[in-house]
Structure formats: C-alpha cells, structure tokens
Amino acid sequence: MAPILDIKGLYKSYGSTEILKDINVAIDPGDFLVLVGPSGCGKSTLLNCIAGLEPISGGTLSIDGQDMTHVSPKDRDIAMVFQSYALYPTMTVAKNITFGMKVRGVDPKTQAAKLKKVAEQLQIEQLLNRRPGQLSGGQRQRVAMGRALVRDPKLFLFDEPLSNLDAKLRVEMRTEIKALHQNLGATMVYVTHDQIEAMTLATKIVVMKGGVIQQIGSPSEIYDRPANMFVADFMGSPAMNLIPARAMKNGSGTHIEIANSTGGSIVLKDTNGHDLPTDVILGVRPEDIAEPGTRQDGVHQDAECLVDIVEPAGADTYVVTQLGGKQVTARLHAKTNAQAGKSQTLSFDLSKVSYFEPGTGRRLN
C-alpha cells in the first residue's frame, strides 16, 4: 500500500535556528499518527508544515503520492482542528461548518445535506443557529470537529484539540475521537503533549525532542522497547524506573548489581545473555515490579527492598523504594501488605527490562 503521507528529510528553520531536523515519517491510509513530545519539541511546527501553513526549509512532503512540498494549504485536501478551535466568531455554527464548502463553490443543496449528516454524527443539531460565543468548551470542540469532518479530506490534522477541556470531558472526547477514527477509517495526524492520549489513540507514535525524532513505532513498541532513556522516561505514568547498575558477565547470563539504600546491594540474574558494558542503566516499568507469586508470566527475580513510601491509588498501590540512588516506583496489588519503613520482597520481571547506555542514553538490548 502506498503511504498516504510521506515526509522525507524534512528540515525547518527560522533564521539560523533549526526547529526540525531530518524528519522522515510515512503513514498508510487509515493510520492514526500521534506526534508527541514536551513543549517546544517542534511537533506543532511539523503539523503546520504538513498543513502547508509553515513553509518547509528542506526535504519533501507528499500526500497520496502527490508532491505537496510547495502547495498551498487549500489544495492539499486536508482538514485541521486547532487547539483554540479557531471558530469564526461572527458566523453561526452552521455557517462555520459550511464555510469551507462555500469558499470552494459547493452547491447549496450538497452543503445542506452534508451539514445535516455531520450535525447528526456529532449531535450538534440544536446548536446550528448559535454563535461560537454562546457555546461551552465541549460544544465548540464538537463544532471544530464538524468543520473538519464535513470536508471529508484525505488527511485530518489535530493540533492538541483536547488540551483546553477539563479532565473529564477530555477523556470523553478522546474516546469519541477514537470511535470516529474507527468508524470513518480516515487517516489522522494528531499532536499532543499528553502521553496517555498518544498511547490510547495512536496506531503509530512519533516521539520528538528538540526537533529530532526519537522513535517511531506502534504504542506497544514505544512502551515496551523505548529507543532511548528520553522515550522511556516520557512515555508511561508513572514513568519507567531508570536505575544505575553494574553488569557482570557470569557464564551464559549476566549479574545485575544495584546499590540499595542500606549500603548493601541487590543482585538480579539476567539469563538472556545480553552483551552489556559494566555501567548500565536498568529500565523497569513500575508494573514489572510486583509482589512474589502474583505474576505467572515472565522471568522473575526476587529482591529485598526497604519501602520508603506507600501510595494507595485505588486500583493499585504504588510503593516507592530507593535503588541505585534513585527513587523506584513499583505498582503493586491494591491490597498489598507493604508498609513504609519496613522491608518488602519485590519481584522484578527481567524478561521485560530495558538496558541503556548511561552516557548516550541509547538502548542496549
């Protein structure tokens, strides 16, 4: 299948400041691509480049096989939803939604039919004669979506569309966007700084930092096998534990030695036979540290740890201990017996750990 969006060697700079460096991304029809990263990482700029709202300094960009590098936004067959919704304040909801069709000279009958369909789809029929100023945040969000949907474009672009909503509404709309994607089978590119949004919505995630792509992959690839320490730390909540450790070759396996808070150390035996340098950073997800006997799958290694803090969170209880001079969070069963100040046996799943090089942050296994 030919990629619907293909970005090759894209550069973007303002004066001498490089905002985006050598971006290469391709997605297939029906994909949900999420661009995620901390603020200032260039993800919104990349989206604006895809839309044609920002000129590209180098590289090429094609949509559905056609070169769009220097084509103006209106000829790219895209629709965009903005963070501030950007509804036209003096027009009614109906006029907002049909503006694009009116500009393109679509005949009024088709306009009315499409408007009706989209209004039903988003349940905004009763709002059509109101102005944006009279709508709540969630309603404005729906209208902004309607304005994009009615266009039926090759590519939907979303620029942090949920960040102005309150927490509850954000989760609702997230589910709705996901349902919309499934029902329409449309291709979407979505920018967010919220890694949970990225994980739940995407079929493909691009993690960015400082204008450089850190990793491209499916949500599970990104989550299970982060390419470097930045991705490991950024994706997931609570974040992946990154524990400084010493690796020592021992027969077919490796001994991982980690200093604990009492001046001693714990030793974990990795039997996967990775070729590791002496100094490594061990990356463990909080859910891969459990109480002994609660998990059946994986390769478990038990170790005694001193519990510093116990944080019940309803479904789980987070237990914080100190290993290798870092705070390490374990996600335990809600009814755990762990108590602050007491010792607790924790079971590390070594089949799922990541190893990183301390200097470069690069993944080793």
Partner 1 sequence: MTDAVYSNTGVRSQMTRIALRWLLYILLFAFALFYLAPLFVMVTTSLKSLEEIRTGDLIALPRDVTFDAWRTAWASACTGIQCEGVRPYFWNSVLIAVPAVMISTLVGAINGYVVAQWRFPGANIFFALMLFGCFIPFQVVLLPMARMLGLMGIAGTIPGLIFVHVIYGLGFTTLFFRNYYVTIPAELTKAAKVDGAGFFRIFWSIFLPLSLPIIVVTVIWQFTQIWNDFLFGVSFSQAGTQPITVALNNIVNSTTGVKEYNVDMAAAIIAGLPTLLVYVVAGKYFIRGLTAGSVKG
**Binding site residues, partner 1, CB under 8 A:** 48, 51, 53, 72-74, 78-80, 82-84, 86-91, 99-100, 103-104, 147, 151, 157
C-alpha R_g of the chain: 25
The nearest distance, CB 288 to partner 1, in angstroms, is: 42
The nearest distance, CB 122 to partner 1, in angstroms, is: 17
The nearest distance, CB 134 to partner 1, in angstroms, is: 16
The nearest distance, CB 76 to partner 1, in angstroms, is: 8
Number of CB atoms found within 10 A of residue 357's CB: 16
Burial 15-31 (b: 16+ CB within 10 A, else e): eeebbbbebebbbeeeb
CB of 84 or CB of 136, closer to partner 1: 84
CB of 74 or CB of 116, closer to partner 1: 74
CB of 11 or CB of 82, closer to partner 1: 82
Helices (H), 219-333: 219-224, 229-234
DSSP 362: B
Q: Do β-strands 32-36 and 204-209 pair in parallel, antiparallel, or remain unpaired?
A: parallel
The nearest distance, CB 242 to partner 1, in angstroms, is: 37
The nearest distance, CB 213 to partner 1, in angstroms, is: 24
The nearest distance, CB 57 to partner 1, in angstroms, is: 14
CB of 71 or CB of 310, closer to partner 1: 71
DSSP 285: -
Query: Sheet holding 17-27: strands in order across?
Result: 17-27, 5-14, 58-63, 66-67
CA distances from 313 to 166, 240, 278, 331 (A): 21, 18, 37, 10
Q: Say if CB 198 and CB 192 are below 8 A apart.
A: yes
Q: Say if CB 271 and CB 299 are below 8 A apart.
A: yes
CB of 155 or CB of 320, closer to partner 1: 155
Tokens linked to 116: 């009706």
CB of 112 or CB of 340, closer to partner 1: 112
The nearest distance, CB 149 to partner 1, in angstroms, is: 13
Q: Say if CB 79 and CB 114 are below 8 A apart.
A: no
CB of 105 or CB of 185, closer to partner 1: 105
Number of CB atoms found within 10 A of residue 227's CB: 20
CA-closest candidate to residue 330, choices 340, 341, 318: 318
CB of 29 or CB of 73, closer to partner 1: 73
The nearest distance, CB 140 to partner 1, in angstroms, is: 12
CA-closest candidate to residue 317, choices 298, 295, 299, 340: 340
CB of 143 or CB of 245, closer to partner 1: 143
